[in-house]
Amino acid sequence: MEKEEGRGRDMADVLGEPVMTAATTATTTTATTQSATTIGVTRTSVAVDHEAAVKSRVAKLNKKLRKLNTYSSFLNMLTLMSLTWHLVNLAQRLQRTC
């Protein structure tokens, strides 16, 4: 979801431009500010509603991901404990036969 919207990436990855000098950065910043202002003026309520819906969907997906990560961590710990117990059990059996 974040990949589709362009979130979660570094600006260097998105822009793909080489590192700029200080003089070039000031010019680019001015152009970006003007275009951001223009976008802000032309933004309609439909776009705002769409953004709110997308943010709500991302929030739901984040909550679901957090829940699944909790389950996964619990199962990983349970697996680690059971494999440790199995290893100890095998070691005890090996000592009995020798």
Residue ranges per domain, the chain?
A: 2-71
> What is the rounded distance in angstroms from the CA atom of residue 60 to the CA atom of residue 1?
11
Residues 1, 61: contact at Cβ < 8 Å? yes
pLDDT in tens, 48-76: 888 888 889 999 999 999 999 999 999 99
24-30 long-range contacts, CB within 8 A, separation 24+: none
pTM over 0.85: no
Residues 88, 81: contact at Cβ < 8 Å? no
pLDDT tier for residue 27 given thresholds of 50, 70 and 90: very low
Cα 50 to the center of its chain, rounded Å:
21
Tell me the average pLDDT of the chain. 76
pLDDT in tens, 6-23: 776 665 555 555 445 444
